[in-house]
Structure 1
Amino acid sequence: MRALLERHQSWIYLVFILAGVGVGLLRPDSTAAFDRLLWPLLGVLLYVTFTQVPLTHVREGMRDWRFLSALMVGNFVVIPLGLAVLVAWLPLSPTVMVGVLLVLLAPCTDWFISFTHLGKGDAGRAIAAAPLLLFAQLIMLPVYLWFFLGHDWLEAALSTHLLVAFVALILTPLFFAWLTERFAENQPRMQSLVCGMGALPVPLLAVVVFVIAASQVNEVAGLPDVLWPVLPIFVGYLVVAAVLGRFMGHLFRLDAPGARTLVFSFGTRNSFVVLPIALALPEPWQAAVVVIVFQSLVELFGMVAYLSLVPRWLIAAGSGPVGHVP
């Protein structure tokens, strides 16, 4: 069931988004009810998602230093520097820029593992690296936002409401997920339960995007110029991320599965984690939510292309380092 859901998740999300848009347009009075549902749903989604990240095995992810060096340098140095050039040259409104930066600065820690496996990457390396990616982005994201948007914006955005949302919707699910994994280590039944929870992120996220679409569609209708300017940015990002993964794999002399894992890590972003942050921003910045949800949809269809192009063309099969693959 899990494999079937993950294989068709792009279409599942699209159907639920369109259904949410329809409900929001036909029943605009239901927006308040959807808003009340969104926060509990996000909390459950993040808890379930975090239980699939091996939080209790961070040390194991430190062994392959070449792969980890390529992964961390690409995600936390090269990509932010590229985004710095992007935002300096593109005439984006501040609200749209916040959404673009929030979602593209945070590397994915969950479904990139599934796509890595389906795309003939090294799922073991992906699983071992996921906790490091999660902890690093939680530390670096405020630094990046201060660097890109300035101290004044950060003071305005980091309100009490946002900090409460960060603690309640990110740190709390993260803590309980860690407790769950720790308790399950010596409990076979609990391990089976955690494994079974791996089928829940796709349907839960489908419900979340339905609720967001239903509650935000009327605001989006008043923002017709938000999505079209960011579409080429997100498509272009997927192209650059694939090339970067190929280059970093060559630079650090990784084998083909390791280089493919880099490609899927660079290409997927952590919309699950940054969405609560965007939702907690002051009202004038709420268009950032629409940008983040839109990026997720673009990314999912991009991953469909990755699954075909990365193992067959970009990084073909080979036993040696990427630089030696013909």
Structure 2
Amino acid sequence: MLNVLGNAVRKAGISLLLTASIVAGAAIGHLWPATGELLGSHVNATLLILVALLFFGVRFEAVVRAWGNLRFLALAALATYVFVPAIGYAIASAVLAAHPMLLVGLSIYFMAPCTDWFLGFTRLARGNVALGTALIPINMIGQLLLYPAYLRLFAQGSVQIEAGVIGDTLLHWFLVPLAVAVPAHYGLRRLLGGKRFGRLLQRMDRAVPWVIALLAMEIFAANVTVILAHRNAFAWVLLAVFVFFACTYLLGEAISRLGRFAYPEHALLTMSIAARNAPLMLALTMAAMPDEPLIHAALVIGMLVEFPHLTVLRRVLLGQRQRAYRRTLRHSGMGARNDLTIY
């Protein structure tokens, strides 16, 4: 009973931590804009720390085995690059037809799968992090290669992006943290031994929510003024983002049922198709279209709404996991395992 109560307090604590970081960041950015900009200048560094931390905590032999799960990877890619873009463009066109620049920005936001914090939220929801790591290069390479096509489709081909930007982005956001994390993981495991290294991994796992909270605070502190500057259009963008997140949740449920995914894969799929890569898309779009603040604003607003959504989504998934566990206990007695299949 004490263990159950302790777990409940810990889970609620993570949600409160993330919520508090969002509120604190928004307050700092609104009351002290200079401090908000200073915090925002550290977003890239915090993202790199988060990616390296997540890579460090993964046993890469499990990632190699994850590539054997081709059925999941194929369904995830189908959802990411076919269903989700179609849903996103349909929603943006329906809600923002009167605001063409916001439509462009939000369409770009909808079509870029996350390559970093989705894995952190997957871990918080007790999803399959090793398999999620295998999704990172797929998501990163796919969206960068498709980005010029997105610009041609939504900006009528008026903007071009240099090929060198794609290579630099892959190097900066994927290869560098991977090159740091892998030697550190296996070097420290060899140096410390299995038992002490296991304790280190536990400490790293406990650090992930704090790094995500710091990232949320930095993003909100730096960008809350964008919402205030475009408050008239905010309601329409907010509506479109809310509908998008609702649709992607239903899509994840449908694919998980059809694929009969176990809970860890179900949680991973749900998080991966909900989370978007707004920081990377914002950086690329500001470089490609520096004089279109409404496009930038749409990306920022989507990013600001995303953190509260992922926080709620984590609670929904954990609730599903707990209900599935109770059902299994009723059907099979106290010998039920934790690696339950939901569907």
**Normalised TM-score (structure 1):** 0.76
Q: CA deviation at 1:231?
A: 0.9
8 Å Cα contact 1:52/1:110 also seen in 2: no
In structure 2, give the amino acid aligned to 1:212: N
Indicate the residue corresponding to 2:21 in structure 1: 12
**Distance in 1 between the 2:285 and 2:104 partners?**
9
User: For the Cα contact (< 8 Å) 1:112–1:265, is it kept in 2?
Assistant: yes
Q: 2:213 aligns with which of 174, 178, 202?
A: 202
CA contact (8 A) 2:67 2:131 kept: no
Say whether the 8 Å CA contact 2:127–2:267 is kept in structure 1. Answer: yes
Which position in structure 2 is the counterpart of 1:68? Answer: 73
After the TM superposition, which of the residue ranges 54-63 and 267-276 deviates more from structure 2? 54-63
Assess if the C-alpha contact under 8 Å between 1:109 and 1:133 holds in 2: yes
Q: Give the secondary-structure state (helix, strand or coil) at the position aligned to 1:284.
A: coil
Over 3 Å counting, the alpha-carbon distance change for 1:92 and 1:315 in structure 2 is farther
SS in 2 for 1:295: helix
Structural mapping, 1:121-132, within 5 Å: 121-132=127-138
The answer to whether 1:117 aligns with 2:128 is no
Report the secondary structure of 1:121's partner residue. coil
For 2:185 and 2:125, how far apart are their aligned partners in 1?
29
1:287 partner letter: L
In the comparison of the two structures, how many residue pairs are matched? Answer: 304
CA distance in 1, matches of 2:308, 2:126: 18
Specify the SS of the correspondent of 1:269: coil
- For the aligned residues, what is the CA RMSD? 3.7
> In the alignment, what sits opposite 2:254?
247
Structure 1 residue 141 and structure 2 residue 147: aligned?
A: yes
Between 1:258-267 and 1:67-76, the stretch displaced more is 258-267
Distance apart, 1:44 and its partner CA:
1.6
- Provide the rounded CA distance (Å) in 2 between the counterparts of 1:315 and 1:79: 28
**1:5 Cα shift?**
6.3
Shift of 1:22: 1.8
Question: Aligned partners of 2:311 and 2:269: how far apart in 1?
Answer: 16
Which shifted more, 110-119 or 46-55?
46-55
- Check the 8 A contact 2:46/2:215 in 1, yes or no: yes
> Is residue 269 from structure 1 mapped to residue 280 from structure 2 by the alignment?
no
- Distance in 1 between the 2:311 and 2:212 partners? 18
**Per-residue deviation at 1:63?**
1.5
- The question of 1:45 aligning with 2:46 is answered yes
| Aligned-partner residue type, residue 188 of structure 2 | P
TM-score, structure 2 normalization: 0.73
Deviations 1:210-267 (A, max 9, x none): 2334xxx2x6555332211011111111111111001111222322332232112111
1:194-233 pair list within 5 angstroms = 195=204, 198=208, 199-213=210-224, 217=225, 221-233=228-240
- Quick check: 1:275–1:289 contact (8 Å CA) kept in 2? yes
- Separation in 2 of the partners of 1:315 and 1:80? 32
Measure, in 1, the Cα distance between the counterparts of 2:318 and 2:154.
Answer: 35
SS at match of 2:118: helix
Residues 116 and 261 in structure 1, CA contact (< 8 A), matched pair in contact too:
yes
Between structure 1 and structure 2, the one with the greater Rg is 2
Moved more, 98-107 or 193-202: 193-202
Q: 2:100 aligns with which of 94, 100, 110?
A: 94
AA at the equivalent of 2:152: W
Give the drift of 1:68.
0.9
Structure 1 match to 2:336 = none
Structure-2 separation of matches of 1:308 and 1:220:
26
SS of match in other structure, 1:226: helix
